[in-house]
Structures are given as C-alpha cells and as structure tokens.
Amino acid sequence: MGLRIYFGRSAENELHPGEDVAITAFRGPVPENAFLACPPGFCAAKDTAPSPVFNIPVDRLEVYWNEIVELEPRLTPVETEPHHHGSVYIQHSALFRFPDVITVEFVTLAPDRSSLTIYSRSRYGRSDFGVNRRRVLRWLSRLQRMVGPAD
C-alpha cells in the first residue's frame, strides 16, 4: 500500500466502494484528522467552522471555486455532481503522497446569495497536524478575495 500511496496510483485517486461523501449525511463530531466549514445552520455536525455567505448566485460561486482548485497541486476530481452543486476531490500530500478526500457542496441561500460547505479529511491516520484545517481556511480566504466581501 505504501508504494501505491507514494506514486498516487489510480486506486488512491478514487473513492472506496461505499465511501459516503455527502456532507449533509455527516453527523460528527468532526474527527481530529478532518475539518468542516458550513454556512450557519446547514450542517448537523458540531465543531464546524462558519463558511462565508456571498452576495452572488451559486453558479457564479462555482465558477470562482473552479478557478481556485485549478491552481492546486496534486488535486484530482473524483466525482462531480452538477445537479447537486457539488464536487469531490482527492489531494495528495507533497512528501508521502497520503490522500485526503475533500467534498464541496454549494448552497443556494437566495437567488443572489450563496455559500458552500467544505469537508476535508485524511483517509489514513488519526491526526493530520492541521493540514485539512489550513487547506479549507486557505481556500475560503482565496474565495473571499476573488468574490469580494462576504456577509
């Protein structure tokens, strides 16, 4: 398995059979090797970070999001659900190529207001040394700079 992870073989760029990636199905608590950001009142899990609310339609938010993830190294889209406004990615760590699974769901709050949920978690191990938290906060910060001030 170690060699497969290191070289990023296709098995580690796919979801495992039966692997649940729906954020709304997640009840928590959020594990130590994960980080979850949600708009207020959206997620059932406890210990989530607030996700910003943007004054743009959800379709435009998705366009900005795609610009951000296109710049990410070692990031592979593994499942896209356009009718649910969501995507799933696997990003490998730089040194050991350990895979993290990232689920993103876009949320329509009103015709011109949107937000997103991001659930980033390590596939292996009990601790991620804050990697998932830093990733999600970095992406949200970039998104806020691109879109403009959020509520």
The string of pLDDT tens digits covering residues 87-135 is: 999 999 888 889 999 999 999 999 999 999 999 999 888 889 999 999 9
CA distance 53 to 73: 27
CATH number at residue 128: 3.30.310.220
Instruction: Please say whether the beta carbons of 116 and 51 come within 8 A.
Output: yes
Q: Which residues pair with 106 in a beta bridge?
A: 116
User: Over the stretch 13-47, which tens digit does the pLDDT of each residue have?
Assistant: 766 565 656 676 666 788 899 999 999 888 888 78
Residue ranges making up the domain that contains 85: 32-147
Q: What is the pLDDT of residues 61-72, one digit of tens each?
A: 999 999 999 999
Residue 14 within a domain:
no
Dihedral (CA of 42, 151, 73, 69) sign? positive
| pTM confidence score | 0.84
**Assigned domain for 13 exists:** no
What domain count does the chain have? 1
Note whether residue 45 is domain-resident. Answer: yes
In a domain, 25, yes or no: no
Assign 3-state DSSP to the chain and report helix, strand, coil percentages, each to 5.
30, 30, 40
Question: Does residue 36 fall inside a structural domain?
Answer: yes
Asked whether residue 132 is domain-assigned, the answer is yes
